[in-house]
Amino acid sequence: MRSIHLLLLLALTATLTGLGQDLPTAKAVRQSGPVQIDGQLNEAAWQNAPAHKGVLPLGKREPPQDTEFRLLFDDESLTIGITCWEKEMDKLEARTSIRDHGGVCSDDSVELFLVPGNGYYYQIVVNTLGYVYDGRCFTDPELKQANFRNALLWDNASEIAVWRGADRWSVEMRVFYASLDGFLGFSTPWRLNVCRTESRFGYACWAPVQKGYHDLEHFGYLQGLELPQDRFTLDATKLKFPEILLGTNHLQLNLPAQRDGQKFRVLSSLRAWAPGPLPQRSAHPGEFVSRDGQLTVEFEFNVRDYEPLQELVLECQDVQSGAKVLLTTHLFRVPKPFAVTPRWTVFFGSEKEVLLDNTIRVSPLSARGTLRVEVFGASQTVPQLQLNHAVEQPGPLLLGLPMSALGWDGCYRAVLTLDCDGGKAQFNQEVSFFKISAPLY
């Protein structure tokens, strides 16, 4: 019986070894010189990295066009350069210009999948316009439902650029280890897959996947990567940002920390998100020290524009070594700072006030100011009623306009102006309502 068990074990080992040999291996080499993330792969460092050529068609389609990628690494990041040859550059399709929109995956695009052995795998997709879709999913298949529900809660802090030439387009991605939840521990070799979507023809992958791009079992292997040890002492997997409002926000974040007494330098940047490399981060004054298994980070920043998608980048560096310990991006849109709605469309003369429901959603540090109201008759250019109301804090505000100040029946328009944040922010809205002296029967 023991001999049978041994034979079965040897057979299983041989089978698994055979499966491993059937899976491709990509080699990363240490970066020998500077690489500017501009999508062009024209630095000398790229020539030292082997080109991994060819992608396999996924499903029934025409043979994929030539595609290759190269891998570089240093002490902070893994950089991949992907070149996609294209016979008809004018027919490339990139209709999606929205961050994290699923349409990015349907455009002409490339996808990078990384499995660093920490319980997650990471997906980064970029189309030919440089717009990005990304996600972090559990590798455990039992957590599949949570996978896709929570995937978009992770925003990668990678540097990505796209370049278009006469007969090819190419992508450079610099993926920082500090953005890949190293607190949970990396294991080697990493698994990876590189995919190309040709919108006119279909899908193709470097790894021999069978169930689609997310078929982890058939991902290839990443060799040569030398990872820094014991650096990633902060856990960002449970990091939750509060709602961010227009104006000055006071941010306090708590991060689980492995080492008490470790000193950190905290840097951040804020901008309207745009394709391309990350913006330069600015250091906040002082040092932040982990205590009782936690690092508390506090700083203030000012949001001036509520319309575009905003990108807040947070970086924590070890003071002693200067190395990145954590790098994360938070994408958000601030809510509309000021909204007004008349309580009714028609007000009767018997009512004492015209009631206007105001909602002020400005940060508490910036909310103090004045709400000015001007009421005009239908054809008036001079206001029939003017009043000012002091604003002390954000939230709902019910404003009553005296009915006695409105002389005749008809349509009125109220122009409301909110001045706040010391006069640095101003918002306007106009609403209309009717006044009727008595109910109509």
Beta bridge mates, 227: none
Residues 46 and 190 in one domain: yes
User: Cα–Cα distance between 117 and 421 in angstroms, integer?
Assistant: 47
Residues 137 and 268 in one domain: no
User: Cα–Cα distance between 175 and 157 in angstroms, integer?
Assistant: 7
What CATH number corresponds to the domain at position 326? 2.60.40.10
Residues 192 and 254 in one domain: no
Domain contains 90? yes
Parent domain of 196: 20-223
Residue stretches of the chain with pLDDT short of 70:
1-21, 144-152, 439-441
Query: How high is the pLDDT of residue 18?
Result: 37
Domain count across the chain = 3
Token duo for residue 426: 């101003």
Domain contains 229? no
Query: How high is the pLDDT of residue 13?
Result: 36
- In the 3-class helix/strand/coil scheme, how is 71-112 assigned residue by residue? EEECCCEEEEEEEEECCCHHHCCCCCCCCCCCHHHHCCEEEE
Q: Which phi and psi (to 5°) does residue 75 adopt?
A: -75, -10
User: Cα–Cα distance between 336 and 316 in angstroms, integer?
Assistant: 31
Looking at 308, 332, 356, the residue that finishes a domain is 332
The pTM of the full predicted model, rounded to 2 decimals, is 0.87
Residues 178 and 299 in one domain: no
To which H or E segment does residue 392 belong? none
Domain contains 242? no
Residues 172 and 47 in one domain: yes
Domain contains 286? yes
Non-local (6+) Cβ contacts of 320 within 8 A are 263
Residues 171 and 266 in one domain: no
Residues 348 and 327 in one domain: no
Domain contains 367? yes
Token duo for residue 271: 């901008």
Asked if 330 contacts 348 with a C-beta cutoff of 8 angstroms, the reply is no
Residues 214 and 78 in one domain: yes
Cis peptide preceding 337, ω within 30 of 0: no
Looking at 309, 332, 355, the residue that finishes a domain is 332
Domain contains 394? yes
Residues 161 and 146 in one domain: yes
Query: How high is the pLDDT of residue 438?
Result: 72
Domain contains 238? no
Residues 199 and 99 in one domain: yes
Asked if 412 contacts 433 with a C-beta cutoff of 8 angstroms, the reply is yes
Instruction: Indicate the residue type of 65.
Output: Q
Select from 372, 427, 375, 439 the least CA-distant residue to 402.
375
In the chain, the N- to C-terminal Cα span, in Å, equals: 98
pLDDT in tens, 259-314: 999 999 999 999 999 998 899 999 999 999 999 999 999 999 999 988 899 999 99
Cα distances (Å, whole numbers) of residue 87 to 61, 290, 359: 17, 55, 55
Residues 192 and 86 in one domain: yes
Residues 83 and 99 in one domain: yes
Asked if 431 contacts 340 with a C-beta cutoff of 8 angstroms, the reply is yes
Query: How high is the pLDDT of residue 59?
Result: 86
Domain contains 10? no
What CATH number corresponds to the domain at position 425? 2.60.40.3880
User: Cα–Cα distance between 161 and 159 in angstroms, integer?
Assistant: 7
